[in-house]
Amino acid sequence: MPIKSNFLLSTLLVLLTTTFNSYCQGTTEFEIKLPEQPTAGAKYGKFRFVDQRNGPGLLGFVQTGALNRKSMVFDKIPIEQQLTKVFDALADKTKIGELLFQLRYCAFSEQTLSMNEHGFFVIRANVYAKKGDLYQSVFGIDTMIRVSAVDVTNKLLRTGGEAFVKLIDSGLKRDPRGKMYSFNDVVKIDSIEKKGFAAYDAKVLTDGIYNSSLSFFLQLPDSKIDSGINEIDNITFYTVNEKGKLRKLKATNCYSVVYKGDAYISYDGYFYKLARRDDEYLLSINLPVGTDPYTGTDVIPTSYGMAGGINGGAIGGLIGVTFDVAMKPRNKEIFIKLDHVTGKLMIQY
């Protein structure tokens, strides 16, 4: 069924860090300020970094200048080099222990609301300590940090840098207490985390209504679904009430529905069908894009406007430009995946 463009705009997690670069008027460098003092009681002297971001080097966007023009955030000095220098400044190099820092996602975004600017830094990372040939979990983090100011950009970038320093500092002081993984398992942590969830293991999903992401992942429906009718751009589901009559199921009243083995996620008053590919649940959408003749990057037209917002913790950001013939407009398929950690929709890079 066709997918409404507004759905995409409000669910993408910092669209500027996707497989294509949206049009931005300038760039802003992200640089982490090195700590001045080493970590007291540091337990590790060696450092290993695993970058599992999709689209390394692109870190979202900020707003710059009097007109709040979008500026792409990037790490001119690769983030691996920066974090290695942070570790070197904090660690006790006489220690033989190895700390592994796995960066799974990070991005900046800004919004202007009323007279204040609001900045958001999203990060997902895991920290491990090496034990023989294996790696034992020290801790993991999946969070969003929000800051506000009249001009928030510098404060936001500084906060992001401080977050990295605090994570490494915390890891250096802690003993591992979590699960043990091979290095191969670490780099496949998404697949490892999905094991045991029936939604990813089952060949056939269980029909029913699911009120939460947990009940969907565990495949424990909260109630029964009776029928579904495909309409022009949506599907309508029905349940039978206590009087034996069909009652329309409101999408706002549940998280998802499985009907005839197919999964549908609820969003903004509608149900959207999810496709299953390997160990992912994906929603696809075709967006018109054009190629900037000067930079060679893909851009989105202004007819889609500028969107940004906080949606259940997901940051959206999109800026468009006007197409002309030189941009060779065409459709591009974008994938949104169901995140197994948060149960929310995220861009598939």
CA-CA distance, 348 to 200, in Å (whole number)?
17
Task: Specify the pLDDT at position 328.
Answer: 59
Length of the chain (residues):
349
Stronger pLDDT, 334 or 168, i.e. the higher one: 168
Average pLDDT over all residues of the chain: 80
- Tokens encoding 137: 């979990």
Q: How confident is the model at residue 179 (pLDDT cuts 50, 70, 90)?
A: very high
Average pLDDT of the residues in 180-203:
93
Instruction: Give which of 330, 231, 321 is closest to 24, Cα–Cα.
Output: 321
- Are 4 and 233 in contact by the 8 Å Cβ rule? The answer is yes
Encoded amino acid at 51, one letter: D
pLDDT tens digits along 222-276: 999 999 888 766 788 999 888 888 899 999 999 999 999 999 999 888 898 999 9
Q: Is residue 111's pLDDT more than 60?
A: yes
CA-CA distance, 344 to 109, in Å (whole number)?
18
CA quadruple 90, 123, 27, 332: dihedral positive or negative?
A: positive
DSSP string covering 197-210: -HHHH-SSPPPEEE
Average pLDDT of the residues in 125-152:
94
Average pLDDT of the residues in 187-209:
93
Q: Using the CB atoms, write b or e for 139-160: b if 16+ within 10 Å.
A: ebeeeeeebeeeebbeebbebb
- Residue percentage of the chain with pLDDT more than 90: 52
- Residue percentage of the chain with pLDDT more than 70: 76
* Phi/psi of residue 286, nearest 5 degrees: -100, 125
Q: Is residue 91's pLDDT more than 70?
A: yes
Query: What's the distance, CA 102 to chain centroid?
Result: 15
Task: Specify the pLDDT at position 161.
Answer: 96
Q: Is residue 83's pLDDT more than 50?
A: yes
Average pLDDT of the residues in 334-345:
85
* Phi/psi of residue 207, nearest 5 degrees: -60, 145
Maximum average pLDDT range among 74-78, 170-174, 187-191: 170-174
Q: How confident is the model at residue 100 (pLDDT cuts 50, 70, 90)?
A: very high
Q: Which of 7-21, 98-112, 205-219 comes out lowest in average pLDDT?
A: 7-21
Task: Specify the pLDDT at position 157.
Answer: 94
Phi-psi region of 296 (alpha: psi -120 to 50; beta: other; left: phi over 0): left
DSSP string covering 274-293: EEEETTEEEEEEEEEEEE-T
CA-CA distance, 63 to 73, in Å (whole number)?
10
Phi-psi region of 331 (alpha: psi -120 to 50; beta: other; left: phi over 0): beta
Q: How confident is the model at residue 1 (pLDDT cuts 50, 70, 90)?
A: very low
Q: How far is CA 227 from CA 85, 213, 231, 235, 274, in A?
A: 59, 22, 13, 10, 18
Task: Specify the pLDDT at position 308.
Answer: 28
Q: Is residue 314's pLDDT more than 60?
A: no
- Are 90 and 39 in contact by the 8 Å Cβ rule? The answer is yes
Stronger pLDDT, 309 or 174, i.e. the higher one: 174
Instruction: Give which of 6, 58, 59, 24 is closest to 319, Cα–Cα.
Output: 24
- For the chain, the helix, strand and coil percentages under 3-state DSSP, each to the nearest 5: 20, 40, 35
Judged on CB neighbours under 10 Å (0-12, 13-18, 19+), 245 is exposed
CA-CA distance, 278 to 287, in Å (whole number)?
24
CA-CA distance, 156 to 149, in Å (whole number)?
9
Task: Specify the pLDDT at position 198.
Answer: 95
Task: Specify the pLDDT at position 57.
Answer: 62
Q: How many CB atoms lie within 10 A of CB 347?
A: 21
Q: Which of 46-60, 125-139, 213-227 comes out lowest in average pLDDT?
A: 46-60
pLDDT tens digits along 14-36: 343 333 344 455 788 999 999 99
